[in-house]
Each structure stands twice: as C-alpha cells, then as structure tokens.
Amino acid sequence: MSHHNEEEKNFDYVFYLVALLSGAFVGAIIDRGFIWIPVGAIFGLLTAAVFIKFLVKGREEV
C-alpha cells in the first residue's frame, strides 16, 4: 500500500499582504507626511507576524 503525504497549504502570505496594505493605508490617512506610509506598513507586518505566531498556529494544537 502506498502512503500519500498530504501537503498543508500555507496561506500565511494572505495575512502578510492584508496587514501590509492595511498598515500602508493607515499610514496614508493619518496625514502626517509620506514617511508614515512605510512605517504603517512595517507595523502592519509586525502585527501579522504576531497574529500568525500566537493565534493562528496555536489553533492547530487544539
């Protein structure tokens, strides 16, 4: 009998993409200058990393 290994689909990039766009949008609407757009994007990526590490990955163990 052959064993088939099912690959897990990794959709982490979706969280990072949404966080990047959301952070950039928030940085753009605070109207303090163009420097806040990349700063908002970086904060969005950091938030997504924390979200994935603690909330999404922890769900698999339940």
Q: What is the mean pLDDT of residues 29-42?
A: 86
**Cβ pair 47, 10 in contact under 8 A:** no
- Give the chain's radius of gyration (CA, Å): 17
The pLDDT value given to residue 4: 62
Please report whether residue 45 resides in a domain: yes
Residue in this structure with the two tokens 């928030």, named with its chain if needed: 26
The pLDDT value given to residue 45: 92
Please report whether residue 42 resides in a domain: yes
In the structure, how many helices (H) and strands (E) does the chain have?
Answer: 3, 0
Q: Measured between alpha carbons, how far is 19 from 45 in angstroms, rounded to an integer?
A: 6
25 is in which domain, residue-wise?
Answer: 12-57
Number of domains in the chain: 1
Please report whether residue 6 resides in a domain: no
pTM above 0.75, yes or no: no
Q: What is the mean pLDDT of residues 44-56?
A: 86
Please report whether residue 4 resides in a domain: no
Please report whether residue 53 resides in a domain: yes
Residue in this structure with the two tokens 């609407």, named with its chain if needed: 29
